[in-house]
A and B are shown apart, each in its own frame.
Chain A
Amino acid sequence: MALIELLEVTKTYRKGEHVVTPLANVSLSVEAGEFFVLLGPSGSGKTTLLNLVAAIDRPDRGSIRVGGVELGTASSSKLSDWRAEHVGYVFQQANLVPVLTAYENVELPLFLFGLSAAERHKRVAIALEAVGLADRATHLPKQLSGGQEQRVAIARAIVADPEILVADEPTGNLDHESAEGVLDLLSRLHRERKKTVVMVTHDPRAARYGTRRMVLDKGELKEEVVAR
């Protein structure tokens, strides 16, 4: 059974006086352990689809099941709990809390699990080690480069050990070298830690890291390209 299953999902929202339908009857399944890349031009609905998979938005119609759990009809608090446990989200911008150090930013999701300070410390150390920033633990976000900030955000996404990582244009704001570093890191997490990665990008170079690619255009998944 697929880890992520979208069945005839439709999502509309209002933009001023217009009703926009970024997703219309979209169906998709992603197997556990895949590095799934969703390509598409700006405004094609990629982020909308990603937000549905990450349970931070709900569909107007259709069903979304992730790990056998129906997300489309779950309550808001249930979805919060579910997100904390099952999904790590990497945004286009790192979105770190500026008044907290790298360590404290990574630690934030762990407060949701009622862990002891020692256990939190252990997990944060492992996550920072995994992204190669153990030596930057006490730095504030403003003391880090863009690439380092994004790696801290990835550490925050994996610290609670979720089975799914969703990444929305994670290299969109980075220079080429930093972008390669972040993509290598995601790829390594996928390979070594068996994470299911769902990444949205419009950059074909970034898309090469995926084990499966699809293109979303005008609200529909039009094309599927099996890579590597």
Chain B
Amino acid sequence: MRLLPLDYAVRNLGRRPTRTLLAAASSALVAALLVATAAFVRGLDHTFQGAARGDTAILLSSVAERDVVRSTVVAGLGELVAASVRGVASIEGVPAISDEIHMGTNLALPGDKRARPGFVRGVTDRAFLVHDAVTLIEGRTPRTGEVIVGRLVAEQLGVEPAALQLGKELSFEGATFTIVGRFAAPGTTIEGEVWTPLAPLRGLTRRDDSSATFVKVTEPGAIAELELFAKRRLDLELVVIPTAVYYKELADYFAPIRNLSWGLAGLIALAALFGGANTLNATVQDRVRELATLRAVGYGGWALVSSLAQEALVLASAGALVGLLAARLFLAGSSVRIAMSAFELNVDAPAVLAGIAGALILALFGTAPAAWRVLKLPVAAALKEN
């Protein structure tokens, strides 16, 4: 099959500038939207995957229905586990076991008139042994009356990052805390949390227990030892959940949001598909005599279809490029609030690929009605069309 020169397809784009611009804008929108959706979904997935580890398990109250905030376990559970369970990892002789309080509460900055829902975790220094994704990037670990904040807390609270600089104050549960550190935990929901020492938080919240105990084991098989411990100590009413399972369940909880995002992106892409198909169909209608002339000259139907596809692809590529640049500009580094946490949008190679591929595939599908029309073109009749 001999094809028309690419030049013909490219120059045809200039024939109807408004139509071309609209089609390009539509491709840009689709590309940007697909990148945004992919970045959102991948960010969400990555967040839960980042926190999930094969060598860490959570001990929760068996009556808490696997909800760490509702869970209560005895205050000294960590010590009990360290003394009773083999296979617990230790770093420089310190067992990697972290008793923690997890609570959703209202946070307030100085001058705030409204409460800002946030997530606070009461921890000891051992938390850094278990949650090894957490790195202190500024300041120091907190003491009584102090907190450290995750990198995405500002986004999660909807305040300027400057409001959470070291030395600033933050209030919750009727007490005021000084920010003494900032931490990162890339790809986990932990980055949207405020951490404060466990013991003072117990006093403040009038609790003599913990929410859960996180245990790091030497190898994944050792989690069975923890399960055995939970079975032996029925009085403690414990359930052991590997973090890999826990965060998978949490990710599944957000599946409807993920599906809704893809559904919405799909609907908009579908609208763009019909728009593109309509534009190309109108193009064929406008050029029906010219196309018939090319057929009369000797070009086959598929050569014309191929030229139309080239037109659509060139236009979609240009539009997608604009969309990707816009997405890169506006989305990279952005984060999204979800429940009482936040996560970063993941504008990575697969997300960009989804944007480009989506725009190009839609462009190709959009040529189908026009292609059908060209292939079925009655040349003799079309030559007479005005």
Query: Using an 8 Å CB-CB cutoff, how does the interface string of B290-330 with A read, 1 for contact, 0 for none?
Result: 10011111111100000000000000000000000000000
Report the separation of the CA atoms of residues A56 and B294 in the bound assembly, to the nearest whole angstrom.
11
Q: Does B166 contact A (CB under 8 A)?
A: no
Known: A95-B290, A100-B8. A108 touches B380 (CB 8 A): no
- B8 with A97: CB separation less than 8 A: yes
Secondary structure call for the B interface: helix
- Contact of A98 with B298 at beta-carbon distance under 8 Å, contacts A56-B379, A91-B383 already known: no
Pick from B8, B289, B298, B380: contact of A112, CB below 8 A: B298
Stretch of A24-32, A79-87, A184-192, A219-227 with 4 or more beta carbons under 8 angstroms from chain B: A79-87
| A54→B300 contact, CB < 8 A | no
- Is B295 within 8 A of A80, CB to CB? yes
Contact A80 B299 (CB under 8 A): yes
Chain B residues within an 8 Å CB radius of A56: 295-296, 379-380, 383
Pair B15/A112 contact, Cβ less than 8 Å: no
Residues of chain A within 8 A of B290, CB atoms compared: 95, 97-98
| A108-B16 Cα distance, complex, nearest whole Å | 22
Task: Number of B interface residues at 8 Å Cβ cutoff, please give it.
Answer: 25
Contact present for B301 and A95 (CB under 8 Å): no
Nearest first, the 5 A-B pairs at minimum CB distance are A84-B298, A99-B11, A95-B293, A57-B380, A80-B300
Interface string of B1-43 (1 = CB under 8 A from A): 0111101100110110000000000000000000000000000
Interface 1/0 per residue, A104-131 and B, CB below 8 Å: 1000110111100000000000000000
A100 to B287, CA, bound (A): 14
A residues in contact with B301, CB < 8 Å: 76
Contact with B along A185-210 (1 / 0, CB 8 A): 00000000000000000000000000
Known contacts A91-B383, A99-B14; is A109 also within 8 Å of B298 by CB?
Answer: yes
Number of A residues with CB within 8 Å of any CB on chain B = 29
C-alpha spacing A57/B8, complex, angstroms: 26
Which residues of chain A (149-206) have a CB below 8 Å from chain B?
A: 156
Q: Which residues of A contact B295 (CB under 8 A)?
A: 56, 80
* Alpha-carbon distance A85/B299, docked complex (angstroms): 11
CA distance A76 to B294 in the complex (A): 14
Complex Cα distance A111/B2, Å?
A: 7
With A83-B297, A89-B297, A95-B293 already in contact, the answer to whether A57 and B379 are too (CB < 8 A) is yes
Give A106 Cβ to nearest chain B Cβ, in Å: 11
B380 touches A111 (CB 8 A): no
What is the CB-to-nearest-CB distance from A180 to chain B, in angstroms, rounded to a whole number?
25
Are B379 and A109 in contact, CB atoms less than 8 angstroms apart? no
**What's the least CB distance linking A104 to chain B, in Å?**
8
Tell me whether chain A's interface is mostly helix, strand or loop, or mixed: helix
- Chain A residue, CB-CB nearest to B287: A97
CB distance B3 to A111 under 8 Å? Answer: yes
Most buried by A among B295, B296, B300, B380: B296
CB-nearest residue of chain A to B298? A84
CB distance from A148 to the nearest CB of B (A): 17
| Contact among A57, A77, A91 with B293 in the assembled complex (CB-CB below 8 Å) | A91
Is the CB–CB distance between A89 and B299 below 8 Å? Answer: no
Residue pair A99, B8 in contact (C-beta under 8 Å): yes
Instruction: State A77–B295 Cα separation when bound (angstroms).
Output: 10
- The one of A77, A98, A113 that contacts B300, using a Cβ cutoff of 8 Å: A77
11 additional A-B pairs beyond A83-B298, A85-B298, A99-B15, beta carbons within 8 Å, are: A51-B380, A56-B295, A56-B380, A77-B300, A84-B297, A84-B298, A99-B12, A108-B294, A111-B4, A111-B5, A112-B299
**Closest chain A CB from B175 CB (angstroms):** 73
Query: Cβ of A91: which chain B residues have Cβ within 8 Å of it?
Result: 293, 296, 383
Known: A51-B380, A99-B14. A109 touches B297 (CB 8 A): yes
Can you spell out 25 A-B residue pairs with CB atoms less than 8 angstroms apart? A47-B380, A51-B379, A56-B380, A56-B383, A76-B300, A76-B301, A80-B295, A80-B299, A83-B297, A83-B298, A84-B297, A91-B296, A91-B383, A95-B289, A95-B293, A97-B8, A97-B294, A98-B290, A99-B12, A100-B11, A104-B7, A108-B294, A111-B5, A112-B298, A112-B299
